[in-house]
Amino acid sequence: MEKILDKVEKPYDLKKLSMPQLEQLGREIRELIIETVSKNGGHLASNLGTVELTIALHYCLNMPDDIILWDVGHQAYTHKILTGRKKDFSTLRQPGGISGFPDIDETPVYDYFTVGHSSTSISWALGLACGRDLVNVGKRRIAVVIGDASLANGMAFEALNHTGHLNKDIMVILNDNELSISAPIGALSKYLNRVATSPVYNRIRHDVEKLLKRVPWFGFRTLRAAKRLERALKNLLVPGMWFEELGFRYFGPISGQDIPSMISTFNSVAELGEPVLIHVLTKKGKGYSHAENFPSKYHSAGKFEVSSGAMACASGKSFTEVFGEKMLELGNKNEKIVAITAAMPGGTGLEKFGEQFPARFFDTGIAEEHAVGFAAGVARSGFKPVVAIYSTFLQRSFDQIIHDVCLQKLPVVFVLDRAGIVPDDGPTHNGVFDLAYLRLIPNMIVMAPSDKEELERMLGLAMLLKPPCAIRFPKDCVPDFGREKTNAIITLGRSRLMRPGKDMLLIALGSMVAPAMEAAALLDKEQISVEVVDARFVKPLDVDMLQEKARRFKVFITVEDGVINGGFGSGVAEYLQNNLDNPPQVHMLGLPDEFLKHGKRDGLLAKCGLNAAGIAASVKKFLNKKS
């Protein structure tokens, strides 16, 4: 039997289908998503929850003339399937395949922006609406799909306020799947929304407003009283009064799995010509019991077995796990330690800390700027806040790091998980800029551990420091260098010698120490003796080590998994150039000045010459130049 999905190549194909066929299409798309993500990994729960919502939206709009903007973009798999990428969907998140997020390079007519951070969509929509109206391109409809968690971010609030002020015609769909910010769907609510979306009701409402405005004094008073009565009734019966006060017409809540109701609502608001917000209730993981029962576990899932839901286990302990365990230990010893994260307690390893010390654990939601400003207040109160946020998301709080923390010289500890290349998620999630943007800030100390013991020691040191500091590590397992385990305390600004050598010096940082050691072992076989130093600190640099090595080596190679521009290697070169009369040459290995596409971490590092073979090749290249 032919599947409905086989008949759908582009959005306009949906308009040929009956309601039962659209519902069958939803079941088939859900099966395809589950099958693909089980093999490739990806964002499962959020995508399963928005299948019917996406179908209804594409059915009502005229794509690609109209525009859909997906906030964050981790719920856009159905959108990809319906917009010509069905045949490539098996390549999801694979090297050279389609991205797990909307990507302007894949199809600029359907993906207006490359997106992976939250709360940007309403600002984009308002800008597009103003552009549409300035050039008078006609009735282009602009729809935004934003989750309840993303709506709590300050940027979304600012955009809502500005949109209401300008009274621009955009449709914001609030995908409410987690926080239960709404009252239950009821018959009266459904009735009120049918009335409010009725073309006849809205035409009469508009005509009455015009008529009353022509009546001096009495007309405006009557109109104001009528609007107050309407708002009062909606405030009692519908949970959207706040949006109405911002200038949006509010409709909902409606079921995000009810295709006919959504189509009716989307079509009914099309001619209002003003900002509207439609509140849609969806269920994360819909249609796959394991994801429905454990939506957080299947938010960003690895490979799994469809029948049992069992996920493939990672081999070895991750940096994140080491951080979480050390935080528990430190929290037991020091009651002044407070843990803060921005909607990622599980992803950052702080879940157990939160369970054991609930009074000293704060999840701010998707509000990185607030999280850092909040941490400043906690520190000023005499506590030791540890702010754990993914590297790419900490970028959003750059000003707060400078103004609220470093300018005040407050002892906040920043822990940057997912630093460097992040597997499979692409340019929006790679944490490659942190070394460059953190080292330029006065009063900031920046560290990068190379293994388990180093991370534990750095956390111990961070608890003793008065200035603010940052510790960054990758989404990866901790390496084992086979060295003797000691309880030695790290000294601020001191590197460690990993292996001696005489032909070339490698100064590696953090996760790059392991491939540098492997490269040295490879070069040993070719009678090339390489000395390897674990830098440990980006700021302050170990200047004594640099001066001592400059007397022995004429060529340094620095290795980091961040952008070269302004990064760790730049700091080394700047110091040597500015402080030595005859400085050695410094060759910097790192990530290029570009946004790297998604792929496996090992593959992307190899492509950039940051694996053992690539580092060894660079050593031989620069040795030949020296000769």
DSSP helix/strand/coil, 425: coil
| Structure token pair of residue 626 | 């020296």
- Cα angle 213, 217, 220 (rounded to 5 degrees) comes to 40
3-state DSSP call for residue 315? coil
Read off the pTM: 0.89
CA dist., res. 286 & res. 277, Å (int): 23
In Å, the largest CA–CA distance within the chain is 97
Higher-confidence residue: 131 or 626? 131
Sign of CA dihedral 348, 352, 355, 359: negative
Output the pLDDT for position 188: 40
Q: How far apart are the first and last CA of the chain?
A: 71
Kindly report, residue by residue over 539-568, the tens digit of the pLDDT: 999 999 999 999 999 999 999 999 999 999
If asked whether residues 536 and 443 sit together in one domain, one would say: no
Which of 472, 505, 529 is the endpoint of a domain? Answer: 472
Q: What is the pLDDT of residue 204?
A: 57
* Residues 543, 427 within the same domain: no
% helix, strand, coil for the chain, step of 5 = 45, 15, 40
Domain assignment present for residue 303? The answer is: no
397 and 452, same structural domain? yes
The reply to whether 298 falls in a domain is no
The reply to whether 105 and 27 lie within a common domain is yes
Residue 587 has pLDDT above 90, yes or no: yes
pLDDT at 193 over 80: no
CA 299 – CA 224 distance, rounded (Å)? 46
| 131 and 42 housed in the same domain | yes
Domain shared by 466 and 398, yes or no:
yes
What are the DSSP E strand ranges found in 510-620?
530-534, 537-539, 555-563, 585-591
Judged against a pLDDT cut of 70, whether residue 224 lies above it is answered with no
> Do 468 and 549 lie in a common domain?
no
Query: Is 141 a known active-site residue?
Result: no
Q: What is the CATH number of the domain that holds 558?
A: 3.40.50.920
Classify residue 582: in a domain, yes or no: yes
Q: What's the total number of domains in the chain?
A: 3
Let me know if residue 528 belongs to a domain.
yes
208 is a domain residue: no
**Top mean-pLDDT range of 246-250, 293-297, 405-409:** 405-409
Q: Which of 396, 418, 496, 601 is catalytic?
A: 396
Q: Which residue has the tokens 């600004």?
A: 493
pLDDT over 60 at 180, yes or no: no
Single residue among 472, 506, 529 that ends a domain in this structure: 472
420 CB-side CA count, 13 A: 25
User: Alpha-carbon distance 462 to 472, whole Å?
Assistant: 12
Tokens of 147: 């989750």
Domain that holds residue 365: 319-472
- Both 601 and 503 in one domain: the answer is yes
Return the higher-pLDDT residue of 616 and 298: 616
Q: With respect to residue 305, please indicate whether it lies within any of the assigned structural domains.
A: no
* Residues 284 and 333 grouped into a single domain: no
Do the beta carbons of residue 435 and residue 568 sit within 8 Å?
A: yes
Q: Is residue 184 over pLDDT 50? A: no
What average pLDDT score do residues 177-198 get?
49
Same domain, 605 and 518: yes
In terms of Cα–Cα distance, which of 176, 7, 147, 2 is closest to 82?
Answer: 7
Q: Is the residue at 15 inside a domain?
A: yes
Report how far apart, in Å, the C-alpha atoms of 340 and of each of 38, 373, 464 are.
Answer: 32, 11, 18
Predicted confidence (pLDDT) per residue in 351-366, tens digit:
999 999 999 999 999 9
The one catalytic residue among 132, 249, 360, 368: 368
Give the mean pLDDT of 176-189. 50
Is residue 593's pLDDT more than 60?
Answer: yes
| Residue 576 counted as domain residue | yes
If asked whether residues 67 and 147 sit together in one domain, one would say yes
Q: How far apart are CA 603 and CA 52, in angstroms?
A: 36
Asked if 23 and 259 touch (Cβ cutoff 8 Å), the reply is: yes
Residue 192, pLDDT score: 46
Tens of pLDDT, residue by residue over 312-369, are: 766 689 999 999 999 999 999 999 999 999 999 999 999 999 999 999 999 999 999 9
pLDDT tens column, 95-129: 999 999 999 999 999 999 999 999 999 999 999 99
Residues 153, 269: one domain? yes
- On whether the CB atoms of residues 518 and 480 are closer than 8 A, the answer is no
Q: pLDDT category, 488, cuts 50, 70, 90?
A: low
284 catalytic per annotation: yes
- Choose, from 80, 93, 284, 601, the residue flagged as catalytic: 284
CATH of the domain at 450: 3.40.50.970
Which of 500, 584, 509 minimizes the C-alpha distance to 542? 509
Judge whether 516 and 534 are in contact, CB under 8 Å: no
- Tell me, yes or no, if 139 is annotated catalytic: no
